[in-house]
Amino acid sequence: MMLYILRLTMLVLATLLSTLMLYGQSDSYIKEAKLAFTNGLYQDAVNKYQAGLTFMNNQKVNKNTPQYLQVQKEMMRAKSNLENIKRADALFASKTEAGYKSAKAAYHAVLANNASDRYARQRVLDCDQQIAVIINHRNDEALWATILSESNQAAYERYLKAYPKGLHAEEAKDAIANIEDDAFWSVILSENTDEAFNRYLQSSKVRLHAST
Residues 6+ apart with CB under 8 A from 17: none
Angle between helices 118-150 and 66-93 (to 10 degrees): 20
* Residues ≥6 apart with Cβ < 8 Å to 168: 140, 144, 147, 159
pTM over 0.85: no
pLDDT of residue 20: 44
Residue-level pLDDT at 172: 97
pLDDT tops 60 at residue 12 = no
Q: How far apart are CA 15 and CA 5, in angstroms?
A: 15
pLDDT in tens, 171-207: 999 999 999 999 989 898 998 898 888 888 888 777 7
Residue 26 in this model has a pLDDT that exceeds 80: no
pLDDT tens digit sequence for 62-86: 999 998 999 999 999 999 999 999 9
Contact 206, 178 (CB under 8 A): yes
Q: Summarize pLDDT for 28-48 with one digit per residue, the tens.
A: 899 999 999 999 999 999 999
